[in-house]
Amino acid sequence: MSIAPKAIDKLTASEAAAELARLATQIAAHDAAYHLDDAPEISDAAYDALSQRNDAIEQQFPELVRDDSPSKKVGAPLSEKFAKVPHFVRMLSLGNAFNDGDVADFVARISRFLKLDEPVLFTAEPKIDGLSASLRYEKGKFVLGLTRGDGAVGENITENLMTISDIPHTIKNAPDVIEIRGEVYMAKAAFATLNQTQEAKGEQAFANPRNAAAGSLRQLDSKITAARPLAFFAYAWGEVSHMPADTQTGMMALFKKWGFQVNPLPEQCDTVEALILHYERIEQRRASLDYDIDGVVYKVDRLDYQERLGFVSRAPRWAIAHKFPAEQATTILNDIEIQVGRTGALTPVAKLDPVNVGGVVVSNATLHNQDEIERKDIRIGDTVVIQRAGDVIPQVVRVLIDKRLKTSKPFVFPKVCPVCGSAAVRAEDEKGGSDVVCRCTGGLSCPAQAVERLKHFVSRRAMDIDGLGAKQIEAFYEDGLVKSPADIFTLQKRDKTGLKKLKDREGFGSLSVSNLFAAIDTARSQKLPRFLFGLGIRHVGETTAGLIARHVGTGEGFFEFGQTLAAEEEAATGAAADFLAIDGIGETVVTALREFFSETHNVEALRALLDQVDPAPVAEVKSDSPVAGKIVVFTGTLTQMTRDEAKVRAAALGAKVSGSVSAKTDILIAGEKAGSKLKKATELGVTTMTEAEWLELIGS
């Protein structure tokens, strides 16, 4: 009998934390496959299901939100083929709506945030399925073109973008600086012609227009890009020296005037019903359009409202993508492969007969965990329905029982790690609840965990060591050259005295070895947040690593802080109390750090590593704002804006927003009906001010 999935409101805190960790790892891998490799492994249906599950758990357990949470991520790590250039203004992603209720909630949130009684005017336009790009114009001349990359840094593909006829090289009567953003895509008719040409040459055909566009745009030879039928729709902007319009609609009209192609199907709507009606009209026209779309995007039309609404994590508050329903196909599940991640999580993956689902060939699908397999009674040899929603990630929806082989047997989830043979267990919390994730107990003695942690340590978002990728880590680990992070930084010294030199290894030469050692030396002074993220401590993602870095100051400061934390008996006293006062830090992070520093081998490994590196401390916030660097706390009911908007503005001015009052608090802003926080601030002598005084101070 299959086991029903545990409802989110029935999850214990430990179960929720474990599932969020698993989801973060899975979604990150699928993001990289889609954005970086242009080779998605699962459909949007599966991907969206993972994301929705993640978001729902985060809503139920806000204190457990991870800093590497998929809800905070944009794009994926960058390709090594192109120069990396920081975006002047981050390129963010969009939140998703999957049904009419989600759209109604989005509109209601906008009204609540802005404290408006009158209707808000929105634009609704098709969501193009292509590759995002940013075009920078200075004095009317196209000077730089970037991919989205990871949102903060993009790949320089200027020469390739210049070959696209829809992108003008010069524009007239534009601001001195303006970044036009939009989507590079390939029309369906052009895609069909391209594939006919590919097949005539005996070359592999592309899976779908999106992959064809992405592959064409990432060519090192711009002549190849020029030969591909690429197009561009403009729909947004980045840095602008002065805004030439005050609405989204006005900006689109200017884009068109400057020679850009803009989508011809936008609609202005001021009610939920109007938005949904336009969505349904676009969906009906979807098949007849000559370009792929995967939904409709709703945006607040007034730019002053957009500015007030700002952003949350990876997405703007003022826009959302209403996704189309899932697409499905049927195939055979040939095997279930158990993969072991860096935290020891055993993740089952379905190995499928390749099947085309909505234009993407799918051969793998996530099975999530043991409970999911048992709930759906998924067995090797089954005929299964695979689903994609939008255009990214696939999942197994159900088994076609009537086609099941008589010899089939239920899948038995392993009780030992398939890599090291250590026991694989599902931990229990204090209430006896079972973790949804089964983990290898081998720790660093498990090669899979050790290797995956080393891969994470050297990855782009962590220490960023060029020339030391996944294959090199695997080979070096197997040969005993690198068993711990510290070994990376003694590699050159050991190579000098070793009998076999790195330059004699397959795939290495004198130049590549020299470049590798130079990259390793550069990483010795990598920024502290990246260093902390690279340690792979559970629940310490990039954002949390940045918060910790600001709190501890240096690598040695982190070492001392961790040991102090581990020595404290109470969870919320001493060092932990000050740490917990930081907005964004919760008990889960404190517990994770305490557990990390309670393990002798972790302390020894970190000590050995700090003997080899000296991470660069976080630079002080430089701002002429009167509240830059100040710790501020908001309490009570604000009347001029919501508390969320107040926090966003404070953070933008360089203030550190805390959720609790302590002796280190600089300013408490007390709204109406302020309670215990105001009382405590008064007792501690903390500067307190009204909302009006705060707005006067920051010049708003």
Residues with catalytic function: 127
Measured in degrees and rounded to the nearest 5, phi and psi for residue 425 equal -130, 160
Amino acid at 626: P
Q: What does R_g of the chain's alpha carbons equal in angstroms?
A: 26
Taking the C-alpha atoms of residue 556 and residue 542, their distance in angstroms, rounded to an integer, is: 19
Taking the C-alpha atoms of residue 653 and residue 623, their distance in angstroms, rounded to an integer, is: 7
Among residues 476, 519, 478, 467, which one has the least CA distance to residue 494? Answer: 476
Rounded (10°) angle between helices 447-458 and 470-478:
140
Cβ-in-10-Å burial (0-12, 13-18, 19+) of 38 comes to: buried
Which residues, in sequence order, are bridge partners of residue 233? 183
* Angle at CA of residue 429, ends 428 and 430, nearest 5°: 125
Amino acid at 171: I
Which residues, in sequence order, are bridge partners of residue 237? 180
Biggest alpha carbon distance in the chain? Answer: 81
Residues 6+ apart with CB under 8 A from 516: 465, 466, 467, 468, 502, 508
On whether the CB atoms of residues 103 and 273 are closer than 8 A, the answer is: no
Report residue 291 as tokens.
Answer: 């370009």
Quickly count: other Cβ atoms within 10 Å of residue 3's Cβ. 13
Residues 6+ apart with CB under 8 A from 471: none
In three-state secondary structure terms, 299 is strand
**DSSP structural state of residue 11:** -
In three-state secondary structure terms, 667 is strand
Residues in the chain, total: 700
Residues 6+ apart with CB under 8 A from 336: 348, 349, 350, 351, 367, 373, 378, 380, 411
Among residues 25, 67, 76, which one has the least CA distance to residue 529? Answer: 67
In three-state secondary structure terms, 155 is strand
On whether the CB atoms of residues 101 and 275 are closer than 8 A, the answer is: no
Strands 631-635 vs 656-657: parallel, antiparallel or unpaired: parallel
> Would residue 285 be called left, alpha or beta, if left means φ above 0 and alpha means ψ between -120 and 50 degrees?
alpha
Q: b/e map of 444-473 (b: 16 or more CB within 10 Å)? A: eebbbbbbbbbbbbbbbbbbbbebbeeebb
Taking the C-alpha atoms of residue 181 and residue 625, their distance in angstroms, rounded to an integer, is: 30
Among residues 255, 388, 403, 238, which one has the least CA distance to residue 326? Answer: 388
Alpha helices in 300-341 (DSSP H): 303-309
Amino acid at 465: I
Strands 319-323 vs 293-300: parallel, antiparallel or unpaired: antiparallel
